């Protein structure tokens, strides 16, 4: 199995297909396997790179755990290991922190960014209030609820909901505060993302209870030129629940800003 020695750990990754590099960064409920409905589709056009964040899937954290604080630098180490100078990134939920963090720390390397169920750190007082209110409602959900999937999807597709849960269970346990934003933090990434100038597509399911659609609308509105698509009848994991629609939307976006027919193949490491 391919591992890259980066940032003090062995990071698991896979590459599939050929063409310009396209990186997939999973959310906290997943790992590299989460993209099983994307890789076969996008690998016909791009070199797809999937990986396990440290402390997810086959990647372990270091003896002195760094957790999410190291995600962006881990991705840089992996892409340097692969000899990739520029790429597009598709990032879901937690993976949005990785994609945005990498982009802001490494200007010029990201050609396009897709944020699925993630505000990418672009926030406001209103979006924080909406998020807090949704978290309060989520506390009343029945035990065992899969928050990453729309309830109707779970009811209509029990076998795929089962697979989603099994993929999630491959990850080591994380403390409840693993992804918590520090208390009192009021920063936002929107000004720095606007300065970078690369195209951004925000995608969110209209039934998302993890990243409420209104918070994503606000995030996109604060970045000039950012695009927003709200997917009907989808929960948090649009890529998983409605893969054909997700894939078509993302490919349509990428063809306009990162066209594989116009770009040279990536340099191999």
What is the pTM for the complete model shown? 0.94
Mean pLDDT within 5-23: 96
DSSP 245: H
CA within 13 Å, CB half, 209: 15
**Distance, CA of 94 to CA of 119 (rounded, Å):** 10
The domain ranges of the chain are: 3-257
Strands (E), 153-213: 200-205
Residues 86 and 111: beta-carbon distance below 8 Å: yes
Residue 184 is predicted with a pLDDT of: 62
- CA quadruple 101, 102, 108, 112: dihedral sign: negative
Strand (E) or helix (H) holding 153: helix 151-156
How would residue 264 be classed by pLDDT, with cut points 50, 70 and 90? Answer: low
Rg of the chain on CA atoms, in Å: 17
DSSP 190: H
Residue 113 three-state SS: strand
**Distance, CA of 20 to CA of 87 (rounded, Å):** 7
**pLDDT digit string (tens) for 59-113?**
999 878 888 899 999 999 999 999 999 999 999 999 999 999 999 999 999 999 9
Give the angle subtended at the CA of 46 by the CAs of 245 and 118, to the nearest 5°: 50
What homologous superfamily is domain 3-257 in, according to CATH?
A: Alpha/Beta hydrolase fold, catalytic domain (3.40.50.1820)
Mean pLDDT within 49-66: 92
Q: Report the candidate in 126, 112, 120, 74 with the shortest Cα–Cα distance to residue 93.
A: 120
**Distance, CA of 13 to CA of 84 (rounded, Å):** 14
């Amino acid at each position: 199995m391919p591992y890259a020695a980066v940032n003090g750990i062995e990071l698991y990754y896979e590459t599939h297909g050929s063409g310009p590099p396209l990186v997939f960064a999973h959310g906290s409920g997943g790992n590299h396997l989460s993209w099983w409905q994307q890789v076969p589709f996008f690998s016909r056009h791009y070199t797809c790179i999937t990986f396990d964040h440290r402390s997810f899937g086959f990647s372990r954290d270091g003896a002195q755990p760094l957790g999410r604080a190291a995600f962006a630098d881990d991705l840089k180490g992996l892409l340097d290991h692969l000899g990739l100078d520029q790429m597009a990134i598709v990032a879901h939920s937690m993976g949005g922190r990785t994609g945005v963090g990498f982009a802001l720390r490494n200007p010029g390397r990201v050609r396009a960014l897709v944020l699925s169920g993630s505000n990418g750190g672009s926030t406001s007082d209103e979006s924080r209030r909406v998020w807090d209110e949704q978290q309060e409602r989520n506390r009343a959900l029945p035990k065992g609820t899969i928050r990453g999937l729309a309830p109707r999807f779970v009811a209509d597709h029990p076998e795929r909901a089962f697979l989603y849960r099994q993929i999630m269970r491959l990850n080591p346990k994380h403390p409840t505060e693993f992804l918590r934003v520090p208390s009192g933090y009021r920063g936002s990434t929107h000004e720095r993302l606007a300065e970078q100038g690369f195209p951004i597509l925000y995608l969110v399911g209209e039934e998302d209870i993890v990243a409420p659609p209104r918070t994503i609308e606000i995030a996109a509105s604060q970045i000039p030129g950012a695009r927003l698509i709200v997917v009907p009848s989808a929960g948090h994991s649009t890529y998983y629940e409605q893969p054909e629609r997700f894939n078509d939307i993302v490919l349509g976006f990428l063809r306009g800003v990162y066209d594989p027919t116009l770009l040279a193949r990536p340099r191999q490491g």
